[in-house]
Amino acid sequence: MSAGEDAVGARVPGLRCTGCGHPTAFWAPCCPVCRGEVKPAAFGPRGTVWSSTVVRVPVAGLEPPYGLAYVDLDDGPRVLVRTIAPSPPPGAQVLITSVEGDSVQGRQV
């Protein structure tokens, strides 16, 4: 990752309800809150940690230890973010640094 990418951050794709504005990071045929129409949206790249932990067991393709944090994206949904261990604590500000498929990575800022 270049310094430029790190400073700008990455956006998490998702959906936003055209009726009530509810954001979601998962595909849904309609708004899970009001059943209104949803449109593609992008969220982040910054957010606040809601909860976090450190994973110390090996998982295919991932070298432990690494952090996992639920992050409330600014003006967006709560998403699971992989971080470098130790995990940022609840309340910490996080910058999303990359999004590849379902894998979202970030770091404390």
- Residues found near Zn ion in the complex (CB under 5 A): 17, 19-20, 22, 31, 33-34, 36
Burial class (CB in 10 A: 0-12, 13-18, 19+), 94: buried
Minimal distance, residue 35 CB to Zn ion, in Å: 7
* CB closer to Zn ion, 35 vs 86: 35
Rounded CA-CA distance 106/47 in Å is 10
Neighbours of 105 (CB within 10 A): 16
* CB closer to Zn ion, 31 vs 104: 31
Minimal distance, residue 15 CB to Zn ion, in Å: 10
